[in-house]
Amino acid sequence: MSSAQCKRGHTGDPQLTPQCRECGSDWIVDAGPAPDPAPAAPAAPGGRVSLRKGEPVTEVVSPTPAPAPVPEPAAVVAPLRLTVGSRTITIADGETVGLGRSPDYPHADLFAPESGFDNVSRIHAALRYAGGRVYVTDLGSSNGTFVNGTRIESGAEYEVHPGQALRLAADVPLGLDWGTP
């Protein structure tokens, strides 16, 4: 039995296993002077040295790296439907929507005074839809943002799960429908 060490100091027989069984490293073998100047054993498929019983190891070849994993196709995420009062808007995956009366918000008309939601701040909250998950952040509103009746901390993002109630101020429930792709 011949003995060799790997780079981590484990010992083993390179004639029985081409790599260390404990860590997978290649063997470091000092073969000493070769009896004749014959070339090293040819590398076998996979980059390993072909070993024959009784022949000294004269070369250590690293194994061929495994091919990179093929990424899974991205899942199709259905758009989120947000209902405020009698109106519904659609939010695409990866989209963030500002909630409030600010004229800078594309959906500010949902919270216009004539809608009856006069206690929603101009810049009230942000709703982010990403990977089929919904996140809400209160943006320093006067009357708060609530998840299941509990006021959330201003500036912190909270995940809203299916079945949880989301509300702006005291009386503006937001309906969320995750739908199906």
CATH number at residue 97: 2.60.200.20
Residue ending a domain, choose from 67, 97, 122: 67
Residues 87, 167, single domain; the answer is: yes
Residue 177 banded pLDDT, cuts 50, 70, 90: very high
Q: Which domain holds residue 154?
A: 80-177
What's the average model confidence in pLDDT over 164-180?
91
**Cβ contacts of 69 within 8 Å, gap of 6 or more:** none
Residues 56, 99, single domain; the answer is: no
Residues 92, 167, single domain; the answer is: yes
Q: Considering the entire predicted model, what is its pTM?
A: 0.58
What's the burial of 27, exposed, middle or buried (CB within 10 Å: 0-12/13-18/19+)?
Answer: buried
134/96 Cα distance (integer angstroms): 10
> Which of 113 and 63 is assigned the larger pLDDT?
113
Residues 143, 63, single domain; the answer is: no
Sign, CA dihedral 85-86-92-98, equals negative
Residues 62, 88, single domain; the answer is: no
When the pLDDT of each residue in the chain is averaged and rounded to a whole number, the result is 81
CA 60 vs CA 49, 139, 161: distances in Å: 7, 61, 55
CA 3 vs CA 8, 51, 63, 181: distances in Å: 15, 14, 20, 60
Residue 48 banded pLDDT, cuts 50, 70, 90: very low
Residues 59, 129, single domain; the answer is: no
What's the token pair of residue 46? 């996979």
pLDDT, one tens digit per residue, over 129-162 is 999 999 999 999 999 999 999 999 999 999 999 9
> Which of 7 and 175 is assigned the larger pLDDT?
175
Residues 63, 117, single domain; the answer is: no
- Residue pair 70/27 in contact (Cβ under 8 Å)? The answer is no
What's the token pair of residue 109? 């008309």
Residue 31 banded pLDDT, cuts 50, 70, 90: low
Residues 87, 146, single domain; the answer is: yes
Q: Give the pLDDT of residue 12.
A: 81
Number of structural domains the chain divides into: 2
